[in-house]
């Protein structure tokens, strides 16, 4: 029977966030051991790997969302969920301050939640490096709302470009889609956008479709820096075939409502300013630390040298604290900020917490047995045997190995039904690109979807788009 009131004999475990790290922890956590409270401004889990496909309507956004309430319903003991943002963490008083940002203005909008144990899994925010104009004029690609904005904006540009008497220069500007950042987010989005153009837009607005153009800007000498060399070359040559213009060694310095200004470094080291008029600008230059995390770091002296997030030890304990753990993009454990790392960290913490609870139970059991030894001396042989058995179990489970990340490989979609994959294969490395890899990419992502419901919805969206094209009605 689900228990609603907190059990005073159990510790309160507060989990911040409903992303990859926190949800992986929740999935494996035995919630009967703790009073578990989840706090997140988002009442769903988002399967980010397929988010770029939502920007063109290839996949409908609800197909990659899973309500947190349905996830929690499946747990053995009830878990409390508050849809709220954690605005600050007080490690001294062991409380988190939370704020309800909903449009419904209720009586209580802010309150505090005390914790015995805290897991910070709030992810990261978009980096802009303080470049002027970026915040005001760009679209980002991190959350569902971002993908919906982009989808709307693409169709806005297309419809406005076809407006009666539109000038040729303005048509060129409106149909110029600029992506800044050649990491996997920027590359996958550029690929999806070009597919949209080839498969749908061309048919829908043939009169001006030849003016549609995608440009990808990257500050470094090549895109996808974390992939192997031949996959970088494969991606760049595929983009060339797809007519996506890649501008490498080009660093964006300023953005206005209609233009991107960048600095290109030529082979001779000479710098040149380029100005690109755009209709849609998508900014994908990676992660920055969230305010609530920065604020917590400032309160902990041991975090003073950490820049990219909460420095954690090999058990994911935030350095300089005793009861705070961090997972995913907000934690610095020496790995890349990926879903793969976040989910393995979440799984690790679930095992650790299940183990800690079991250890405490066994230790209590040993204490109870020792006490009964004095009360029932006649039974001493049997009680001693039980104590020994419990201590053996204790030794076994107490020996928890530190967190170890096991890299399963990197995958990225690059458009025109092609993907690239860097996979660890029987201790070796397999780097492949092409249409077969695309099928592998689709099946791998399908198998990673959160639920069967998500899986069926995604398959349905793929089929629907193949048969009828993407839905271009602007909501």
Which residue ranges make up the site for ligand NAD (CB under 6 A)? Answer: 49, 131, 180-186, 188, 217-220, 225-226, 251-252, 284-287, 336-338, 410-412
183 scored as a contact of ligand FAD (CB under 6 A): no
**Nearest residue to ligand FAD, by Cβ distance, number only:** 19
DSSP letter for 88, please: E
Q: From ligand FAD, ligand NAD, none, which one binds at residue 158 (CB under 5 to 8 Å depending on kind)?
A: none
Q: From ligand NAD, ligand FAD, none, which one binds at residue 57 (CB under 5 to 8 Å depending on kind)?
A: none
Nearer to ligand NAD among residue 49 and residue 279 (C-beta) = 49
Nearest-angstrom CA–CA distance, 473 and 465: 14
Contact window for ligand FAD (CB under 6 A) among 13-21, 73-81, 232-240, 264-272? 13-21
Q: From ligand NAD, ligand FAD, none, which one binds at residue 79 (CB under 5 to 8 Å depending on kind)?
A: none
We find the least distance from the C-beta atom of residue 349 to ligand NAD, in angstroms, to be 20
52 scored as a contact of ligand FAD (CB under 6 A): yes
- Sheet with 85-90, edge to edge strand ranges: 85-90, 95-99, 110-114
Q: From ligand NAD, ligand FAD, none, which one binds at residue 86 (CB under 5 to 8 Å depending on kind)?
A: ligand FAD
Nearest-angstrom CA–CA distance, 305 and 197: 46
We find the least distance from the C-beta atom of residue 142 to ligand FAD, in angstroms, to be 5
Contact window for ligand FAD (CB under 6 A) among 101-109, 116-124, 379-387, 427-435? 116-124
41 scored as a contact of ligand FAD (CB under 6 A): yes
Nearest-angstrom CA–CA distance, 145 and 51: 10
We find the least distance from the C-beta atom of residue 422 to ligand NAD, in angstroms, to be 10
We find the least distance from the C-beta atom of residue 431 to ligand NAD, in angstroms, to be 14
We find the least distance from the C-beta atom of residue 338 to ligand FAD, in angstroms, to be 3
Q: For the chain, how many helices (H) and strands (E)?
A: 14, 24
User: Are the C-beta atoms of residues 409 and 421 closer than 8 Å to each other?
Assistant: yes
Nearer to ligand NAD among residue 120 and residue 284 (C-beta) = 284
Q: Could you count the other beta carbons within 10 Å of the beta carbon of residue 325?
A: 27
123 scored as a contact of ligand FAD (CB under 6 A): yes
Contact window for ligand FAD (CB under 6 A) among 103-111, 120-128, 148-156, 169-177? 120-128
We find the least distance from the C-beta atom of residue 407 to ligand NAD, in angstroms, to be 11
Phi, psi of 48 (to 5 degrees): -60, -35
259-278: contacts with ligand FAD (CB under 6 A): none
We find the least distance from the C-beta atom of residue 202 to ligand FAD, in angstroms, to be 25
Q: From ligand FAD, ligand NAD, none, which one binds at residue 15 (CB under 5 to 8 Å depending on kind)?
A: none
- Give the residue from 64, 71, 86, 84 showing the smallest Cα distance to 26: 71
Nearest-angstrom CA–CA distance, 295 and 94: 15
User: Are the C-beta atoms of residues 296 and 133 closer than 8 Å to each other?
Assistant: no
We find the least distance from the C-beta atom of residue 295 to ligand FAD, in angstroms, to be 10
Applying CB under 6 A, the site for ligand FAD has a residue count of 33
Q: Could you count the other beta carbons within 10 Å of the beta carbon of residue 322?
A: 8
Contact window for ligand FAD (CB under 6 A) among 73-81, 197-205, 338-346, 397-405? 338-346
40 scored as a contact of ligand FAD (CB under 6 A): yes
Q: From ligand FAD, ligand NAD, none, which one binds at residue 55 (CB under 5 to 8 Å depending on kind)?
A: none
We find the least distance from the C-beta atom of residue 96 to ligand NAD, in angstroms, to be 26
SS3 317: strand
Q: Round the CA-based radius of gyration of the chain to a whole number and report it.
A: 26
16 scored as a contact of ligand FAD (CB under 6 A): yes
* Residues β-bridged to residue 331: 310
SS3 66: strand
340 scored as a contact of ligand FAD (CB under 6 A): yes
Which residues are within 8 A (CB) of 59 and not within 5 positions of it... i.e. 6 or more apart? 50, 53, 458, 461, 462, 465
Binds ligand FAD (CB under 6 A): choice among 49, 191, 309, 320? 49
Q: Could you count the other beta carbons within 10 Å of the beta carbon of residue 16?
A: 30
Which residues are within 8 A (CB) of 156 and not within 5 positions of it... i.e. 6 or more apart? 474
- Sheet with 271-277, edge to edge strand ranges: 250-255, 259-265, 271-277
**DSSP codes joined into one string, 260-284:** EEEEEE-TTS-EEEEEEE-SEEEE-
SS3 374: helix
We find the least distance from the C-beta atom of residue 189 to ligand NAD, in angstroms, to be 9
Site string for ligand FAD, 426-445 (x = CB under 6 A): --------------------
Binds ligand FAD (CB under 6 A): choice among 14, 37, 38, 86? 86
**DSSP codes joined into one string, 398-434:** H-PPPP------EEEEEETTEEEEEEEETTEEEEEEE
Which residues are within 8 A (CB) of 143 and not within 5 positions of it... i.e. 6 or more apart? 42, 46
Phi, psi of 278 (to 5 degrees): -135, 160
Contact window for ligand FAD (CB under 6 A) among 2-10, 46-54, 221-229, 379-387? 46-54
Residues forming the site for ligand FAD (CB under 6 A): 16-22, 39-42, 48-49, 51-52, 85-86, 121-123, 141-142, 185, 290, 292, 328-330, 337-340, 342
């Amino acid at each position: 029977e689900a228990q609603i009131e907190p059990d005073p004999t159990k510790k309160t475990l507060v989990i911040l966030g409903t992303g990859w790290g926190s949800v992986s922890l929740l999935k494996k956590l035995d919630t009967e051991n703790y009073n578990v409270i989840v706090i997140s401004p988002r009442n769903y889990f988002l399967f980010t790997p397929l988010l770029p496909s939502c920007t063109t309507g290839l996949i409908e956004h609800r197909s990659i969302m899973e309500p947190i309430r349905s996830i929690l319903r499946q747990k053995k003991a009830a878990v409390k969920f508050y849809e709220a943002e954690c605005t600050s963490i007080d490690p001294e008083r062991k409380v988190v301050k939370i704020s309800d940002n909903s449009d419904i203005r209720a009586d209580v909008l802010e309150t505090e939640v005390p914790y015995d144990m805290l897991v910070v899994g709030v992810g990261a925010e978009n980096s802009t490096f303080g470049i002027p104009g970026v915040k005001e004029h760009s679209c980002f690609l991190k959350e569902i709302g971002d993908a919906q904005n982009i989808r709307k904006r693409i169709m806005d540009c297309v419809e406005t470009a076809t407006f009666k008497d539109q000038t040729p220069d303005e048509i060129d500007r409106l149909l110029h889609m600029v992506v800044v950042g050649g990491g996997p987010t920027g590359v996958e989005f550029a690929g999806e956008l070009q597919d949209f153009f080839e498969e749908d837009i061309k048919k829908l607005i043939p009169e001006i479709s030849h003016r549609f153009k995608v440009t990808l800007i990257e500050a470094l000498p090549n895109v996808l820096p974390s992939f192997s060399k031949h996959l970088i070359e494969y991606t760049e040559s595929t983009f060339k075939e797809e007519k996506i213009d890649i501008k490498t060694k080009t660093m964006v310095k300023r953005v206005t409502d209609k233009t991107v200004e960048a600095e290109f470094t030529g082979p001779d080291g000479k710098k040149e300013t380029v100005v690109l008029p755009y209709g849609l600008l998508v900014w994908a230059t990676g992660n920055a630390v969230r305010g609530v995390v920065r604020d917590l770091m400032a309160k902990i002296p041991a975090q003073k040298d950490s820049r990219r997030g909460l420095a954690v030890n090999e058990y994911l304990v935030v350095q300089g604290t005793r009861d705070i753990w961090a997972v995913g993009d907000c934690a610095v454990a020496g790995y890349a900020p990926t879903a793969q790392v976040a989910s393995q960290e979440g799984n690790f913490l679930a095992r650790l917490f299940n183990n800690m609870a079991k250890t405490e139970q066994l230790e209590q059991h040993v204490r109870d047995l020792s006490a009964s030894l004095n009360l029932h001396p006649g039974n001493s042989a049997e009680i001693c045997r039980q104590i020994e058995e419990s201590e053996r179990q204790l030794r076994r489970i107490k020996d928890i190995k530190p967190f170890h990340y096991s890299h399963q490989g990197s995958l990225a979609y690059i458009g025109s039904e092609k993907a690239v994959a860097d996979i660890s294969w029987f201790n070796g490395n397999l780097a492949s690109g092409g249409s077969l890899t695309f099928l592998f990419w689709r099946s791998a992502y399908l198998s990673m979807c959160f639920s069967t419901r998500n899986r069926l919805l995604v398959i349905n969206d793929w089929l629907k788009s193949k048969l009828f094209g993407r839905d271009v009605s602007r909501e």
